[in-house]
């Protein structure tokens, strides 16, 4: 009979240990589940921010042609958005990292190309400002028919025409680079959506993207042609006035 209390105690101890083990396993599984959900949330946040960055980078590329925007603002925007896209390399699969790397490399080359042309345009703008100042000073200090009175005016007109031509050329190049990003952007979007299991009709998506890019290209070309027409008309009137 003395063995019964001992047996009851042993059974009670085993039951307590089993309960503790079950609680431990439950907590472990719960922690693993929370950790997995946290990882998925981080991946989703990274992808969502990267998608926003892609759109901003395309706008930033077109903004390079506007030399009134400070260089520092463009550089800061470039670094922030490229950094957001680069974070995909921490959470993405090998295929996603590959497509994103292609996109980043393509964009970096495009941004460098148009940035160099932007710098040349900024120098030309300084020359144009100087020509305007000199032409104004000379016109005030010399009579209309004095020798050399119109030399700075003619120089200013030539620099102004080159400035407008180069500015339109830069805008056109920015547009061409933006269109060239269409394919790597599509590849990156498709890879990311596959990772987050968002359904996508790939062929339809590519077709819509191509149509949007073509529409944008045509609109920009019409805008550029309108500017060319206005400039040509202004030059013609100026020449008629001089005649």
Please return the burial class of 46, using the count of CB atoms within 10 Å of its CB with bins 0-12, 13-18 and 19+: buried
Determine contact, residues 100/88, Cβ cutoff 8 Å: yes
CA angle 224, 229, 231 (to 5 degrees): 95
Does the pTM surpass 0.95? The reply is no
User: Into how many domains does the chain fold?
Assistant: 1
Specify the pLDDT at position 154. 77
**What is the tens place of the pLDDT at every residue in 80-95?**
988 888 888 888 888 8
pLDDT of residue 34: 63
The more confidently predicted of residues 33 and 74 is: 74
- Return the minimum-mean-pLDDT range out of 49-63, 73-87, 107-121, 138-152: 138-152
- Asked if 130 contacts 159 with a C-beta cutoff of 8 angstroms, the reply is no
pLDDT in tens, 57-87: 888 988 998 989 999 999 999 999 888 888 8
Give me the pLDDT at residue 197, please: 82
Task: Give the per-residue pLDDT at 9.
Answer: 47
> Per-residue pLDDT for 20 more than 80?
no
pLDDT reported for residue 26: 54
Tell me what the pLDDT averaged over the chain comes to: 78
Q: What is the average per-residue pLDDT within 129-151? A: 68
Domain span at 83: 3-242
Distance (Å, whole) CA 111 – CA 47: 22
Query: What does the pLDDT read at residue 143?
Result: 56
- Closest among 104, 161, 105 to 128, alpha carbons compared: 161
Burial (CB < 10 A; 0-12, 13-18, 19+), residue 85, is buried
Helix (H) or strand (E) holding 235: helix 202-242
């Amino acid at each position: 009979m003395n063995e019964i209390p001992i047996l009851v105690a042993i059974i009670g101890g085993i039951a307590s240990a089993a309960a503790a083990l079950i609680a431990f396993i439950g907590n472990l599984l719960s922690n693993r589940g929370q950790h997995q959900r946290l990882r998925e949330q981080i991946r989703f946040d990274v992808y969502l921010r990267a998608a926003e960055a892609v759109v901003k980078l395309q706008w930033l590329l077109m903004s390079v042609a506007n030399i009134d925007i400070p260089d520092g603002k463009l550089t800061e925007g470039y670094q922030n958005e490229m950094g957001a896209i680069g974070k995909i390399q921490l959470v993405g699969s090998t295929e996603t990292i590959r497509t994103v790397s292609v996109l980043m490399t393509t964009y970096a080359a495009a941004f460098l190309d148009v940035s160099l042309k932007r710098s040349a345009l900024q120098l030309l703008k300084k020359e144009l400002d100087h020509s305007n100042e000199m032409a104004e000073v000379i016109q005030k200090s010399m009579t209309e028919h004095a020798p050399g009175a119109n030399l700075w005016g003619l120089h200013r007109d030539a620099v102004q025409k080159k400035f407008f031509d180069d500015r339109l050329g830069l805008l056109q190049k920015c547009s061409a680079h933006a269109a060239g990003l269409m394919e790597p952007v599509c590849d990156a979007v498709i890879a990311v959506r596959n990772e987050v299991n968002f359904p996508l009709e790939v062929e339809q998506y590519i077709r819509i993207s191509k149509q949007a890019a073509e529409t944008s290209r045509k609109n920009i070309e019409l805008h550029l042609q309108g500017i060319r027409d206005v400039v040509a008309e202004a030059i013609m009137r100026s020449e008629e006035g001089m005649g």
